[in-house]
């Protein structure tokens, strides 16, 4: 009886492992050898991007049009495998194109994520301007795959609050003085993982400040921003904003995920959050 029980358990474990792997990794995704992926960045082209529409709610941040792209970073992820490669290229004076070259293992299924940014050299003045992607890339052994800017699906990096909070910067919001936080939902552009349910730490876009992430059905990921009540139980007003530590929020691109230098602050997504007030009553 004990032997039959152990055999039954072994069969269950094997079935569980097979079912868990079948949806993410295909046998033919694995290829031996090494290949090359070349990303060609045309600077004039990327500064004149015509972004694609991912939903009917398009926000045009005119501020983006006045800031020039200075760097482009690329992130290659192997689907179903724990492999990620990142590189960045800087725009050079009088140079029309920048080249990012990856010498990486061959694969039948890789995703390329890119971000075009402005690095200012001044603290908190870095900006994420455009977000791009191309999926299901095949990189053959001993081959060279070239990806141009026109091959990527690009969108403008931007965000906006839920409709009922659209006037949060101009109107005083009211919250209970007994609550620790006042929750405000926003939408942030995330073309990278549409329809994917990921943990916050796995996202390429995030929020400076306390928040939690939600669904991304159409290229706009929801986040709940938590505004902290610093004097619970007391009637008072608190002022929040982009430049107030522990008092506000700002969407940004995760610089670590793209190997971007963030020594001068994160790469914030426009528009910047103006000052706003919550009345705790």
- DSSP label at residue 79: T
| Measured distance CA(63)–CA(61) in Å, rounded | 5
The confidence score (pLDDT) of residue 145 equals: 96
pLDDT score at 30: 56
The domain 33-156 is placed in CATH, from the list 2.60.40, 3.40.50, 3.30.160, 3.30.70, at 2.60.40
What is residue 74's predicted lDDT score, i.e. its pLDDT?
A: 97
Looking at residue 24, its pLDDT comes to 45
Cα–Cα distance for residue pair 236/231, rounded to 1 Å: 8
What average pLDDT does the structure give for the chain? 85
> CATH 2.60.40 spans which residues of the chain?
33-156
Distance CA 220, CA 214 (A): 10
Please tell me the predicted confidence (pLDDT) of residue 245: 73
| DSSP state letters, the chain | -HHHHHHHHHHHHHHHHHHHHHTT--GGGEEEEEEEEEEEEEHHHHTT--PPPSSS-----GGGGGS---EEEEEEEETTSS-EEEEEEE--TT--EEEEEEEEEEEEEEEEEEEEEE--SSTT--EEEEEEEEEEEEE-TT-EEEEEGGGSEEEE--EEE-GGGTTTTTS-EEE-TT-SEEEEEEEEE--TTTT----GGG-SEEEESSEEE---SSSEEEEEEEEE-SSTTS-EEEEE-TTSTTS--EEEE-GGGGT---TT--EEESSPPPPEEEEE-
Q: Would you state the structure tokens that stand for residue 52, as one six-digit string?
A: 């694609």
**pLDDT per position as a tens digit, 164-194:** 999 999 999 999 999 999 999 999 999 999 9
* Amino acid 48: pLDDT: 75
Positions of the chain with pLDDT lower than 70, given as ranges: 1-30, 50-65
Radius of gyration of the chain (CA): 23
SS3 state of residue 46 = helix
């Amino acid at each position: 009886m004990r032997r039959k029980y152990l055999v039954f358990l072994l069969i269950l474990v094997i079935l569980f492992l097979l079912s868990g792997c079948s949806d993410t990794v295909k046998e033919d995704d694995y290829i031996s050898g090494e290949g090359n992926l070349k990303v060609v960045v045309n600077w004039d082209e990327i500064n004149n991007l015509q972004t694609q529409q991912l939903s009917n709610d398009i926000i045009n941040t005119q501020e983006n049009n006045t800031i020039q792209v200075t760097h482009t970073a690329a992130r290659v992820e192997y689907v179903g495998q724990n492999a990620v490669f990142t590189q960045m290229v800087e725009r050079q004076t009088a140079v029309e194109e920048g080249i990012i070259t990856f010498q990486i293992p061959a694969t039948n299924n890789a995703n390329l994520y890119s971000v075009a940014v402005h690095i200012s050299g001044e603290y908190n003045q870095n900006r994420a301007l455009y977000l791009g992607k191309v999926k299901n890339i095949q990189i053959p052994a001993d081959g060279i795959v070239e990806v141009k800017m026109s091959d990527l699906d690009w969108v403008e990096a931007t965000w906006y609050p839920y409709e009922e909070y659209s006037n949060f910067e101009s109107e005083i919001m009211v919250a209970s003085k007994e609550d620790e936080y006042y929750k405000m939902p926003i939408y942030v552009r995330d073309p990278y993982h549409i329809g994917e349910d990921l943990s916050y730490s796995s996202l390429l876009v995030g929020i400076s400040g306390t928040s939690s992430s939600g669904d991304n059905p159409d290229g706009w990921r929801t986040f709940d921003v938590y505004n902290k009540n610093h004097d619970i139980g007391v009637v008072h007003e608190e002022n929040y904003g982009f430049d107030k530590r522990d008092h506000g929020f700002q969407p940004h691109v995760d610089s670590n995920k793209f190997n971007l230098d963030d020594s001068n602050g994160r790469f914030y997504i426009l528009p910047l959050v103006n000052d706003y007030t919550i009345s705790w009553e």
